[in-house]
Amino acid sequence: MKKKKIAQVPFRLNILFFVVFLLFSALILRLGVVQIVYGEDYRKEVERTEDEIVNTPVPRGKIYDRFHRVIVDNIPENAITYTRSKTTTPEDTLKVARKLAKYIDKPVDKVTERDMKDYWILTRKEKAEKKVSKKERKEFEKQGLSQKEIDKKIYELTLKRITPEDLREITKEELEIIAIKHEMDSGYALTPQIVKNNGVTNREYAVVSEHLEELPGVSATTDWKRHYVYENTFRSVLGNITEDDEGVPRERLDYFLARDYSRNDRVGKSYLEAQFEDVLHGKKAKIRNIVDKSGNVIATEKVYDGERGKDLVLTIDVELQQRVEKIIEEEIMATKRKGNSPLLDRAFVVMMNPKTGEVLSMAGKLLTKGEDGKTQFVDFAIGNITSAYAMGSAVKGATVLTGFQTGVLHPNTYIVDEPLYIKGTPRKKSWQTMGTINELTALQRSSNVYMFKTAIAIGGGKYRPHRSLKINPEAFTTIRKYFAQFGLGVKTGIDLPNELGGFQGKETGAGKLLDLSIGQYDMYTPLQMAQYVSTIANGGYRMKPQIIKEIRKPTDDAKELGPVIQRFEPVVLNRIDMKTEYIKRVQEGFRRVMQTPKGTAYAYFSGAPYKPAGKTGTAEAFYDGPIQSRRNDPTYNLTLVGYAPYDNPEVSFAVVVPWATQGNSDGINNRIGRRILDTYFELKAERAKGNVTNDATTTDAATNAEANE
């Protein structure tokens, strides 16, 4: 026996040992593959999945006026949020929702049928199971689908088969649970989702805070609500942000997701809020979630504190803005009371610094029927850039300058103002026949015929009474080209979306060319008018209208502003290619309009201490407003552009009152013009006395512009 053992057993034992060796080698080999060959991949994946970095929202930047008064603020409000982990099951959320429903009230209006069905399946498992028979389940299995696909198909089938009767089982209390669950489910895992932020009472807030232990994922925190301090004032330009259940606009989803936004972030959706989204939007706080074995968040650690959005300082003087808006409202009502202005429903004022392009006030008011049926004013400041009207004689300064530049006029050119009889068009004349006049008088008294004859000359035509008039259609292009140098008919370049460039007439008949020369053919926006008059006021520099003065770093201190990050310097869009003496002539003409008897605005501006200059306009227009039945009714647009003081302008303005009257001259444009200039200089005097600290740095545009050349 022993002999046998020596011969055989040790050999077999060695074989056994060899097998052991092979097996352990296989382990080491495989371990090497996992840890050394693919180790880096695994490490990267771990870094990706285990330390979840989450962004939490920070308040948006505030918006200030030029004297640092807050226009748009953030108000903290109580909010209940819920953060789902990656492994949270629908049952878990349901449990939390049930408990939460006991502590808070939640409106149920957002509950969808699908929400109810999901809830029904979740809470009535046995009944739901019966909706799809065993046989049908077997069928699915036979199709060779994966378990996931089968489950999905069964779920869809169950959803389809839930009847309205089934859903009627859901009680009112349950509906509230569904509403809460709806909010909880809508976010992404590990991203706080607001369950309720509107009208969370202090009691609700306290009770939820007390019971956080039994509400995993829920926290009672602070949310920020946008607050527009001056309510309606300038409201339409400030724009809006999306609601939290609206989130990022779907059509720009990719744009935002690429920029570290979450789907449920509130973003600017119109005008200033939208235009400066990347400024106002803060840098989110980054929080690292440490996830335990079942995927629950066991600890969070702050990686980056986040930063409130940057602040915008506007060029707007909100006090001036408020007063201007009040003036517009009062004057509209005053004119309407006279009873001859059924179509009048809006008026616009733009005031800017002609040297820098800074917009000091941009007001628009629209009279509309509110929900309660009463007529009321709503803010329509944005209409200054989004709507265009026939501006009438106010554009004549541009016409005269075009005449100079094309060589058909020279300083002190005399032309006979007489009614024009052109075959095929109605008689064309000025509001009174003025005889032989030069361009200064033509502007002062607003001669149409002077402009007509200039336009005819530009078009290479020859006026012969009662004959048809032939002009070169190129004249339209020529005039529009020169008008555009003042900003008429082109975008002003203001930093706001949806700016309108105006409207051009399509016909090219001689009559239309004459209309064009007196501002009754193409349509311009009120802001274009302001830019145009500023260009004349500052001696020929077309300034970009600035609405933003500075971007400032946010501070925690509510009283102080952070340091300036970016200052918006004046931008000269173009220098009109005309001789300075030509512009001086037009400036003189404008001065005479307001400061000399016979000037069309003299009655309103005589005695104004600030030496204004400007040009009135009355356009024969056709109604194009909201009252359908009156569309295309003839009416008058009243306009006024100007600046003051005429020799060193610090403010320029445009007043536009579309569809102001049905015939009688009214003067609303001049009344508004006089009052806003008075207000401007009153405010200036008050400030000089130290009522408001004016730290606005007035840069001299002319020097700047020259430096730019």
Partner 1 sequence: MGQDRLSQSKLDYNLLFILFLMAIVSAIAIHSAEATLPEKLQHVNFAYKQLQWYAIGAVVIALTMIIDYDRFFQIAWYLYGFGMLLLLGLELNVPGTVTNKGATSWYKLPGGNFQPSELMKIFMIIVLSRIIVNHREKYPEPTMKDDFRLLGKIALTVLPPLILLAKQPDLGMSMVFVAITGSLVLVSGIRWRIIFGIVFSVLMILAILVFIFFQFPNFFHKYILEDYQLNRFYGWLAPYEYSNEQGFQLIRSLLAIGSGELYGKGFGNLQVYLPEAHTDFIFGVISEQFGFIGASIVISLFFLLVYRMVHIALESNDLYGSYLCAGVIGMITFQVFQNIGMTIGLLPITGLPLPFISYGGSSLATYMLAIGLVLNVHSRTKKFMFSSDE
Shortest Å distance, C-beta 293 to partner 1: 4
Nearer to partner 1, 51 or 139 (CB): 51
**Cα-flanking dihedrals φ and ψ of residue 706, to 5°?**
-65, -40
Cis omega (within 30 of 0) on the bond before 10? no
Instruction: Give the active site residue among 186, 341, 393, 447.
Output: 393
Nearer to partner 1, 16 or 688 (CB): 16
Given CA atoms 248, 254, 260, 262 in this order, what sign does their dihedral have? positive
Nearer to partner 1, 17 or 431 (CB): 17
Instruction: Mark whether 393 is an active-site residue.
Output: yes
Shortest Å distance, C-beta 157 to partner 1: 21
Helices 448-458 and 396-406: crossing angle in degrees, nearest 10, is 40
Nearer to partner 1, 31 or 627 (CB): 31
Shortest Å distance, C-beta 220 to partner 1: 23
The DSSP code for 239 is -
Nearer to partner 1, 143 or 163 (CB): 143
Shortest Å distance, C-beta 296 to partner 1: 10
Residues 533/642, Cβ–Cβ less than 8 Å: yes
Q: Are β-strands 613-622 and 634-644 bridged in parallel, bridged antiparallel, or unpaired?
A: antiparallel
* CA distance linking residue 652 with residue 644, whole number of Å: 7
Locus of tokens 């300083």: 411
Nearer to partner 1, 26 or 206 (CB): 26
Residues 350/496, Cβ–Cβ less than 8 Å: no
* CA distance linking residue 195 with residue 184, whole number of Å: 6
* CA distance linking residue 312 with residue 335, whole number of Å: 37
Q: Is 667 helix (H, G, I), strand (E, B) or coil?
A: coil
Given CA atoms 600, 604, 609, 614 in this order, what sign does their dihedral have? negative
- H helices, E strands: number in the chain: 26, 20
Residues 635/622, Cβ–Cβ less than 8 Å: yes
Q: Are β-strands 63-64 and 311-314 bridged in parallel, bridged antiparallel, or unpaired?
A: parallel
Q: What is the 3-state secondary structure (H, E, C) of 214-232?
A: HCCCEEEEEEEEEEECCCC
User: Could you list the residues that contact partner 1 (CB under 8 A)?
Assistant: 1-2, 4-5, 8-10, 12-17, 19-21, 23-24, 26-28, 30-32, 34-36, 38-43, 45-47, 50-51, 146, 148, 291-295
Residue 260 zone, left/alpha/beta (φ > 0; ψ -120 to 50; rest) = left
Nearer to partner 1, 35 or 665 (CB): 35
Q: Are β-strands 63-64 and 70-82 bridged in parallel, bridged antiparallel, or unpaired?
A: antiparallel
Nearer to partner 1, 146 or 412 (CB): 146
Nearer to partner 1, 152 or 423 (CB): 152
Q: Is 210 helix (H, G, I), strand (E, B) or coil?
A: helix
Shortest Å distance, C-beta 313 to partner 1: 46
Q: Are β-strands 375-379 and 613-622 bridged in parallel, bridged antiparallel, or unpaired?
A: unpaired
Residue 534 to residues 229, 478, 485, 543, 628: CA-CA distances in angstroms?
Answer: 30, 22, 12, 8, 36
Q: Is 286 helix (H, G, I), strand (E, B) or coil?
A: strand
Residues 300/66, Cβ–Cβ less than 8 Å: no
Q: Is 85 helix (H, G, I), strand (E, B) or coil?
A: coil
Please, which residues bridge with residue 313 across strands?
Answer: 64, 550
* CA distance linking residue 352 with residue 643, whole number of Å: 9
* CA distance linking residue 565 with residue 555, whole number of Å: 12
Which secondary-structure segment (H or E) carries 593?
A: helix 580-595
Nearest to 476 by CA among 460, 490, 464: 460
Residues serving a catalytic function are 393
